[in-house]
Chains A and B, each alone.
Chain A
């Protein structure tokens, strides 16, 4: 192997290593100490419909370690639901970089007790994302928090979507558009983006 070729390969591999570490830095969950109680976790505010635009958050960067009563530990996110009942809460899981967060949602009351749980199978597949809509109707036991966990049952599943892609060929005075079928294959895992939105129900 020539010296030039060897140097070129070294540079390329160094570049890949840097790119890999940068990606790892973005997607690997931080590892602060594990807390014993939900009340010790930082609260994320569920976006209120109509206020600014909703924001998707990467689970890996926003999740914190929670030690459950049986001793096992796992990364979770906690959203605060600030609107009174009746309220509609919509959870959307994006499909980015061929990754879909296999989320499990637990609605909690003001004492952080479970009101209802929604496995990933409760989500509805809509185009490029998955969504879950739930309602808090009970004024005596309003939903105050949303716990986002990982649904182990859904991890590793794949999502294949057939979509129509388009190629543009420039022509004098315009372009020729050629459509064709293509496939997008994504995997469900413990990284990915999630967005939670709350909206008040006034007509129910």
Chain B
């Protein structure tokens, strides 16, 4: 769990230094793909991230920082539970609409996301290490929320918490052997100028100077995340 948290911090705070970005453009004209099976998404819980000052003070400081971020993530998750916000359903509705407009028919798994005890082997971007063959569709899409929650670029009140999403996807052919596409969308990208991820600026309407303000916002924090997921889903669909 600690390793997972550290990896998430790496992804959100200093993307380029930690993991390489999966990026392969889709050659739409070379493939006759009409129907796509969407594989069960990875189970992702709400997270809170910011460059905690404790990260300056070695392992002990990092442990304190991770414990605090974990607690804030749990608080955010409770707020979202209270709002009955379903991040997978938000994504499914937006992505399905965007892909239908592009001429695709999507076949979704039921439920859309895997459970917490899912044993699927995944890499750094929550992407599957392999896919099985399918006869239900022309291709199969592995799409996952990597980071989903609120993040701030700094520790002060001039660096507000904003809805933050990392969405990674890869498209396999029906045999599961050939990867046709992969890319990452980052909504509220704090990774800096070198990042090659598709980047979307956060909606300024959803901005909280301190975490206390996030808490005080109650269930309405779901609105910012819903907007972020919708924009990210549409951006990913445009690549296909």
A interface residues (Cβ-Cβ under 8 A, vs B): 86, 88, 90, 95, 124-128, 131, 133, 135, 137, 160-166, 174-182, 184, 201, 203-204
Contact = CB atoms under 8 A, between A and B. Distances in A.
Contacts of B29: 135, 137
Contacts of B197: 126-127
A179 B199 contact: no
Nearest to A175: B56
Given A127-B199, A179-B51, A164 B154 contact: yes
B159 A127 contact: no
B154 A179 contact: yes
Interface residues of B, number: 38
Interface of B: 13, 25, 27-30, 50-51, 53, 55-56, 152-156, 158-160, 162, 178, 188-202, 238-239
B153 A179 contact: yes
Contacts of A128: 192-195
- Most chain B CB atoms below 10 A, which of A88, A127, A181: A127
A178 B27 contact: no
Contacts of B158: 180-181
B238 A124 contact: yes
Nearest to B191: A127
Nearest to A136: B29
A164 B190 CA distance: 5
Given A127-B197, A161-B201, A180 B154 contact: yes
A126 B195 contact: yes
Nearest to A159: B201
Contact of A125 (B51, B55, B56, B199): B199
